[in-house]
Chain A
Amino acid sequence: MTKTYAVLAAFLLTIFVLVPVTISATGRWDLYYTLTSVALLSIGAAGVWLTFYIGRINIGQGAYALMGGYVSAVLMTQAGFSFWATLPLAGIFCAAISVLIGLPILRLRGVYFAMITLVLTEVTRLTALALSITNGAKGITSIPLPGELSIFGLTLIPDFSTMDSPKPAFYLLAVTLMVLTYLVLWRIVNSRLGHLCRSLQQNEELSASIGVNTAYLRVLAYAISSFFGGLAGAVFVAISQSIYPSSFAVTDSVNFMLYCFVGGLGYVGGPILGTFLLYFGWDLLSAAKEYQLLIYSSAMIALMLVLPNGVLSLFDRKGRRK
């Protein structure tokens, strides 16, 4: 257990201290955005991971990221909300919608659930195109940067637009949210709820027969998952200061799933590692020009052949947890 804490402390030290120091020392300012993306995408992937945990393959996280983004954008531009207020609201909105959608579709299993969530992303995109509150095809642009967050006159977070560059601020925001997300995830997995979820993953009928309220558990896990999706979407909108129906597409949903697979489905930290590897891998390969996609996909296939249970299974000598 002490080893786990040591790893955790080292991880926190790296992302909060070492990364900013290294960036300002080397002048690689572009890394901020890349790492911010990794952090945000891994928040979304955390949600997908949680749905895996109850035995469902979720290829619809892009839908909730898009919804969260739109909630934040609409509230900021049309109702004058502060970004900081829209952030939890985006998550809660997504969680509420996911309860409505989840009640019927969570009865599906296996590939059926996977495929219907894939369709869900497309449904969300088309809805965003058709509605007028989302401004349809024209999207919402010129969204302001996050303003000041203060309690009783005490400034907790300064106005982003007054900074020289909002990049480090977005980075810190994203990694903080990421750490919080994974703490929640960790807590869930190691609680009674987590044990119940695992029982669902292994045999749903059996756990129902011993009195586990499976329907409630499924919806709860899915709602938490969607909350994370909405959160990630809202922060992305703040960075790009714009949102379009295509801001999160089916590709994103598939990517969220891949991040989980690559990292390893048996490990809470898996999605972070998976996101980091796949996202950075693509960026590094941009030197390969037209062969970029070829090398990227070959590496993915090779990885699957060598480590079909995810990269983290490398450390999995005794099969710590399934």
Chain B
Amino acid sequence: MEQILANGLYLGAQYALIALGLTLIFSLMNVLNFAHGQMYVFGGFVTYTVVAQWGLPFVLGLIASAIILAVMGALIEVFLFRPVIRKSKRDESTMLLAAGIAFFLDAVILLLFGEKQRGVPKIVNGVFNWDMRIIMPYDRILILALAIAMIAGFIALMQYTKAGRAMRALAQDRVAAQLMGVDVDRYSMIGFALGAMLAGLVGGLLVTITGINLGMGGPTSIKAFMMIMIGGAGVISGAIAGGFILGMMESVGLTLLAAYGDITYLVIFASLMVFLAFRPQGLMGKPWG
């Protein structure tokens, strides 16, 4: 049982971090970023290149991922999303753009980094073993700690800095924020860059444990969608809750339902649909997203 909870916690922390970036972008611009998973993969490959190919320290790899993805996010917002949102009759048109960007990143990743699975050698060796009740390799514990630290840092940033306040105001009411003198364009850009950076950082963190490959983008986006549906779209606390809940569900479900064959994910998906039928806005979301 302890092992199941520990697994759930570890999964939950990484999921929450993925969901945070997605929900931030959504809350600011009402854009469902289909390319989020691809940004995560890109971040992973950047860290891989820096650490495994150039032989530089892991921290530098993480920083490189963060910077490159932040710049990419900012550029995507300024040159792609902003003009489309301005010209389009419907909000939904951004979905096509996001899907196009997802395909584009897939193609770029294939050309730049190749089709193979990549991984960075373990950064810490050894396995923590508490009497066979909890078994957790040290590198996972490190990643778990880093992920929780990043979540805390992100919350602090949103809560206590000027940019954070501005972004929260934007998420609450775009027009009102604008009237209060918030530079909407500037903070949309910063928000998108921050969201993309988070995706890249998670990719960089996880490349040491799960490795990275071209195919992880799309499924990661879908998982992130599920998390923000559970928690409520566009709500920071919701994304964190959604991440941890999904992590726990997977961990518990895989153990309890193992005997029944291939149905764990079916059960997770089905219960999600039932849950949303009763609570359409998720746990903490605003009604009608």
- Residues of chain B whose beta carbon lies under 8 Å from any beta carbon of chain A: 26, 32, 34, 80, 83-84, 87-90, 92-93, 95-97, 99-101, 103-104, 106-108, 110-111, 218, 222, 225-226, 228-229, 233, 261-263, 265-266, 269-270, 272-274, 276-277, 280-282, 288-289
CA A131 to CA B106, docked complex, whole Å? 33
Known: A130-B263, A305-B80, A308-B87. A297 touches B225 (CB 8 A): no
6 pairs from A and B in contact (CB 8 Å cutoff)? A115-B32, A119-B222, A119-B225, A126-B269, A250-B218, A300-B103
A107 B281 Cβ-Cβ under 8 A: no
On chain B, the residues within 8 Å of A115 by CB distance are 32, 225-226, 228-229
Picked from B84, B261, B266, B288, the residue with its CB within 8 Å of the CB of A123 is B266
Closest Cβ of chain A: how far from B114's Cβ, in Å?
A: 11
On chain A, the residues within 8 Å of B80 by CB distance are 301, 304-305
Number of A-B contacts (CB under 8 A): 140
CA A116 to CA B272, docked complex, whole Å? 9
A112 B273 Cβ-Cβ under 8 A: no
A111 CB within 8 Å of chain B? yes
On chain B, the residues within 8 Å of A261 by CB distance are 92-93, 95-96
A130 B261 Cβ-Cβ under 8 A: yes
Closest to B219 in A: A250
Known: A123-B269, A250-B222, A294-B104. A116 touches B229 (CB 8 A): yes
B107 A304 Cβ-Cβ under 8 A: no
Listed from nearest, the 5 A-B pairs whose CB atoms lie closest are A104-B277, A297-B103, A308-B88, A297-B104, A300-B100
Known: A294-B107, A294-B111. A262 touches B32 (CB 8 A): no
Interface residues on A, range: 35 or more
Closest Cβ of chain B: how far from A263's Cβ, in Å?
A: 11
Q: Which of A234-252 contact B (CB under 8 A)?
A: 250-251
On chain A, the residues within 8 Å of B108 by CB distance are 294
On chain B, the residues within 8 Å of A309 by CB distance are 87-90, 93
Known: A126-B269, A294-B108, A300-B100. A57 touches B95 (CB 8 A): yes
- Residues of chain A whose beta carbon lies under 8 Å from any beta carbon of chain B: 52, 57, 101, 104-105, 107-112, 114-116, 118-120, 122-123, 126-127, 129-130, 250-251, 254, 257-258, 261-262, 265-266, 290-291, 293-294, 296-298, 300-301, 304-305, 308-309, 322
CA A294 to CA B80, docked complex, whole Å? 16
On chain A, the residues within 8 Å of B288 by CB distance are 109-110, 112
Known: A112-B233, A123-B273, A293-B106. A304 touches B100 (CB 8 A): yes
